[in-house]
Amino acid sequence: MDKPAAQIENTDVAIIGAGPAGAAAAAWLARKGLRVHVIERTQFPRFSIGESLLPQCMVHLENCGLLEAATAGGFQVKNGAAFTWRGSDTAIDFRDKFSPGPGTTWQVERADFDQRLIDGAVAAGASVEFDTRVDGFHADPVAPRLTLIDAQGQSRQLQARFVLDASGYGRVLSRLAGLSKASTLESRCALFTHIEDRIDCPDYDREKILIGLHPQHAGVWYWLIPFSNGRASVGVVASQDALQAAGADDESRLWHFIGQEPRLASLLARATPVRDTGRLEGYSADVVSLHGPGFALLGNAGEFLDPVFSSGVTIALDSALRAAPLVERQLHGDSVDWQAEFEQPLRRGVATFREFVEAWYDGRLPRIIFSANQPPRIRQLISSVLAGYAWDLANPLVAASKRRLDALAASVTESSVPAAQQPDT
């Protein structure tokens, strides 16, 4: 006698991944009365980088009903970005910007932040299943289906009316549906850890992320993200070859580079690590399409650029809050043009961030940011993009990013930027 086929479970919306994009979409859709089931490969809470948010995130958190849950975390307030290069320091204040909207946000330990968001989505009516991976996918415009493997190795089928992939670096559907394509950005590597920072410098501003550039090596940069509990996230980004040549292991490589940046070396002279050094490499990714029959890709599951301007969570939340209303409309029988209503507008903002990332690595943006006597209006336009308002077409640096950045960089004289130091001998 043939073995009976396994019963197929059903839901309205299946969401792969319980990070910020998945939680935001789940909360929004559940509040509309839809059955939402979130599948998460890991157990929460879990460590993640991407700890410095942008003010645009606050709008999205409020719109999906998760702002109150996040606020309860008591996270470190962030009001801008500080930069250090060759002994010179400057800062951009997000409260002084061109675009309307919040000018402050948070710097968060993601284990706590993400847990609060997914708990908020569950409180809104979504269900979540941890320690379960997606092993197969069948695309269909009305009944897409996932194959799930639980912690005990048991396999089952989950059929939905729509699937959202918020799996982040796992990029589940881009892999299973054959959508991956190479990023246009150069492959780089990040080394990072958490520290008890013990910073006692009176002019250190904990309400800003500190971004440092290596004094001699173009393309090598650092982040220092302070948290509200006296700890901080610190990391360095460089080519894999540069990192490999800097020490015998990742911990020594990270601290070798930190020792070469004067401001960071001074601030972190008494710091002690509280976790092992982590490594993330080959993180830039893209896909041929952000949607298909019965599915769409959110945040890093589609395209990820680079960590330099902390755009990851902003793009994740933006994609979730663009997709969720379209899913609701489609499930209520409306015709949705996913290319025109989701992919094209989402990619416009991502393209703005990409232009800023490319200008950062080719040196145009550091020249602009560190130039002396910069007109306040230019500072406000830059502040808006770095605060996450990369979809505000009223901003000339959004509407024509490359042309405007080219012109600004060309207008900077050599005497108005930090002079190169002599390399260490």
Task: pLDDT tens for the chain, 425 residues: list them.
Answer: 444 445 789 999 999 999 999 999 999 999 999 999 999 999 999 999 999 999 999 999 999 999 999 999 999 999 999 999 999 999 999 999 999 999 999 999 999 999 999 999 999 999 999 999 999 999 999 999 999 999 999 999 999 999 999 999 889 999 999 998 888 878 899 999 999 999 999 999 999 999 999 999 988 999 999 999 999 999 999 999 999 999 999 999 999 999 999 999 999 999 999 999 999 987 777 889 999 999 999 998 888 888 888 999 999 999 999 999 999 999 999 999 999 999 999 999 999 999 999 999 999 999 999 997 889 999 999 999 999 999 999 999 999 999 999 999 999 876 666 765 333 32
CA distance 333 to 311: 34
**What confidence score (pLDDT) does residue 186 get?**
82
CA distance 373 to 133: 53
CA distance 153 to 107: 37
Biggest alpha carbon distance in the chain? 85
DSSP state of 332: T
Tokens standing for residue 379: 């500072």
Report yes or no: 25 and 324 within 8 Å, Cβ to Cβ: yes
In order of 23, 51, 95, 102, 333, the CA distances from 352 in angstroms are 25, 21, 20, 19, 34
**What confidence score (pLDDT) does residue 1 get?**
42
**What confidence score (pLDDT) does residue 281 get?**
86
Q: What is the pTM of this model?
A: 0.94
Torsion of CA 348, 25, 176, 188, to 10 degrees: 50
CB count within 10 Å of CB 250 equals 19
**What confidence score (pLDDT) does residue 6 get?**
58
